[in-house]
């Protein structure tokens, strides 16, 4: 079967347009500047590990998912701490000027409250101006990358200012006047969705081979994108097929699909994904699916995939370009404090280089200098603070690259990278329902943040019940802080739960967290929030629905088996 070129609308891209080998540049002015490629709370799980499979990445990871990345290969090189890599800016080490170390600011900026479409500042006059970086040089900056204009701006020693962004070129029609539209450019039909689901059912048993073939095609035919991925690809391969399933399952719900894909498009800016990457990725995807779908692949199925992928790429590119006009692709954040809460859990406090907007209950993807281009998700452990500081609860899990590095190696002065805040596990401030919160392990981090947010904004007569679970009482490291809040606010009740049946009477409730909560059913009139290991979230969701909580009032960031990002 003769493959037709995939038609993907070009644009300025997520991190600024740049020429891609074999593809025309977005525009002459846009290609002149290209910002660079970057690169648990028991929330950590291998997140999207590479950008070019932008439309194929996995979605939000709930707090408590295990990091199943393999051990690093023996002798794997580590990024050198202490300064940008030599030659990354195109100059030799001798030619690089010394980086001035400024005084640490005495008064950090106040993080602005998250804006909403109806009250966004400057909505009538265009996008609000971008904030200036908090510090003009990063003493602990550990790495840099080609085209990394943020890092280059810091290293220049000049005044702290937002690096210039290329103007977005005006969109032009891809069809000549009067020409008939290509069938592949038409919106997907219900029949197309059926064909996609049928072909995915055939590919699912051999998904590992299909995804390996897909990435092989990308790297062979478009080697320029290989540098955007981590060295080890085993984590990324597993996420491709599951993301395809998510898109197929949500095809009947345009609003949910658009929200999911827009979040992916915004999040992929931190990888260095450009609008020009989507076309080659789509061609390689179609070729890989055609190879492994067997006799389920025909002209109608190919047309269906081209239509769906065209829609996917348009949503992601549009969301990325919109986000690029109002926020950076990623933030630098310096570790300013580290507390070892248990032998395997550390609480890190970070100071971002510029205001970082988020809501209690959300999470951020984090990249460390020790594993470039490997990002993992962590929940915020506090509500937005006046001093602008952020906290993350991190548990070192077996074979967890990022989590182990953060717990065992991170120290004050190290600089991490953060992607934009994501996740929908946020409380509706206008709703008067009581809150039922389940936090397992370091999944208590976003639960604590939610409680802090309610304490700051006012409970308005609502009751908040927190069930905090762990295997043993000694692992309930966040219990003292929650009890302090409960002593101050009568609307808050905290219930420690341990699965170890040998717990002393009165010390905690004994049993598995979801089952313990189900004992006190019904939970009518409550909004439920769950954060912890995926198995706990799934079990808790099922039991809460049986206990009378409607599905639309159960909040978590586990989407099927996927995690956003």
**Region 434-555: CATH code:** 3.40.50.80
Domain(s) labelled CATH 1.10.490.10 in the chain stretch across: 50-59+182-324
Judge contact between 280 and 221, C-beta under 8 A: yes
State the SS3 of 30-60: HHHCCCCCCCCHHHCCECCCCCCCHHHCCCE
Domain(s) labelled CATH 3.40.50.80 in the chain stretch across: 434-555
Residue 399, by phi and psi: left (phi above 0), alpha (psi -120 to 50) or beta?
left
Tokens of 28: 């002459």
pLDDT at 291: 94
pLDDT at 188: 84
Q: What is the C-alpha to C-alpha distance for residues 185 and 22, in angstroms, rounded to an integer?
A: 22
pLDDT in tens, 149-159: 333 333 333 33
Mean pLDDT by 10 residues, the chain (565 residues): 49 38 38 36 42 44 39 36 38 46 51 41 46 38 38 34 35 53 81 91 90 90 82 67 74 82 88 87 92 93 92 91 90 96 96 94 94 90 95 92 94 94 88 90 96 91 94 94 96 95 84 94 91 94 91 81 34
pLDDT at 225: 83
State the pairing for strand pair 363-367/415-418.
Answer: antiparallel
State the pairing for strand pair 331-342/415-418.
Answer: antiparallel
Burial of 34 (0-12, 13-18, 19+ CB in 10 A): buried
pLDDT at 276: 87
Q: How big is the chain, counted in residues?
A: 565
Q: Which of 3.30.230.10, 3.40.605.10, 1.10.490.10, 3.40.50.300 is the CATH number of 50-59+182-324?
A: 1.10.490.10
- How many CA within 13 A on the CB side of residue 502? 3
494 strand-pairing partners: 466
* CA–CA distances in Å: residue 442 to residues 53, 226, 347: 30, 34, 10
Q: With a threshold of 0.75, does the pTM exceed it?
A: no
């Amino acid at each position: 079967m003769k493959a037709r070129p995939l038609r993907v609308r070009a644009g300025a891209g997520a991190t600024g347009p740049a020429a891609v080998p074999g593809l025309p540049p977005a525009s002459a002015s846009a290609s002149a500047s290209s910002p660079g490629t970057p690169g648990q709370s028991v929330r950590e799980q291998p997140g999207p590990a590479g950008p070019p499979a932008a439309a194929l990445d996995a979605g939000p990871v709930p707090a408590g998912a295990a990091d199943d990345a393999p051990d690093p290969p023996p002798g794997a090189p580590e990024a050198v701490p202490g300064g940008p890599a030599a030659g990354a800016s195109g100059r030799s080490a001798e030619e690089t000027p010394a980086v001035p170390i400024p005084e640490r600011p005495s008064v950090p900026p106040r993080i602005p409250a998250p804006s909403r479409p109806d009250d966004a500042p400057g909505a009538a006059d265009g996008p609000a101006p971008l904030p200036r970086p908090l510090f003009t040089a990063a003493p602990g900056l550990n790495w840099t990358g080609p085209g990394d204009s943020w890092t280059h701006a810091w290293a220049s020693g000049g005044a702290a200012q937002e690096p210039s962004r290329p103007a977005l070129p005006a969109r032009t029609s891809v069809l000549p006047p009067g020409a008939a539209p290509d069938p592949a450019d038409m919106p997907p039909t219900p029949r197309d969705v059926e064909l996609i689901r049928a072909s995915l059912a055939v590919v699912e048993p051999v998904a590992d081979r299909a995804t390996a073939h897909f990435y092989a095609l990308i790297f062979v035919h478009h080697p320029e994108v290989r540098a955007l991925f981590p060295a080890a690809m085993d984590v990324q391969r597993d996420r491709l097929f599951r993301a395809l399933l998510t898109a197929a399952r949500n095809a009947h719900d345009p609003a949910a699909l658009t929200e999911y894909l827009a979040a992916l498009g915004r999040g992929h800016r931190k990888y260095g994904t450009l609008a020009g990457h989507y076309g080659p990725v789509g061609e390689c995807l179609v070729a890989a699916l055609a190879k492994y779908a067997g006799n389920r692949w025909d002209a109608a199925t190919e047309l269906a995939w081209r239509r769906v992928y065209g829609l996917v790429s348009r949503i992601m590119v549009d969301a990325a370009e919109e986000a690029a006009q109002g926020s950076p692709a990623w933030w630098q954040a310096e570790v300013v404090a580290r507390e070892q809460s248990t032998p395997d859990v550390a609480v890190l406090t970070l100071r971002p280089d510029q205001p970082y907007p988020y809501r209690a209950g959300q999470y951020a993807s984090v990249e460390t200098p020790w594993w470039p281009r490997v990002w993992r998700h962590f929940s915020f452990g506090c509500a937005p603070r006046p001093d602008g500081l952020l906290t993350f609860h991190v548990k070192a899990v077996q074979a967890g690259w990022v989590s182990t590095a953060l717990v065992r190696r991170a120290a004050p002065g190290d600089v991490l990278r953060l992607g934009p805040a994501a996740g929908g596990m946020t409380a509706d401030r206008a709703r008067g329902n009581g809150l039922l919160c389940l936090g397992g392990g370091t999944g208590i981090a976003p639960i604590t943040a939610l409680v802090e947010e309610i304490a700051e904004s006012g409970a308005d007569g609502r009751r908040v019940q927190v069930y905090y679970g762990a295997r043993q009482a000694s692992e309930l490291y966040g219990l003292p802080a929650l009890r302090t809040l409960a002593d101050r606010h009568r609307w808050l009740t905290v219930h420690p739960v341990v699965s170890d049946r040998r717990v002393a009477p009165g010390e905690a409730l004994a049993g598995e967290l979801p089952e313990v909560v189900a004992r006190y059913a019904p939970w009518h009139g409550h909004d439920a929030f769950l954060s912890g290991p995926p198995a706990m979230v799934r079990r808790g969701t099922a039991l809460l629905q049986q206990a009378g909580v409607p599905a639309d009032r159960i909040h978590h960031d586990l989407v099927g088996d996927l995690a956003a990002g």
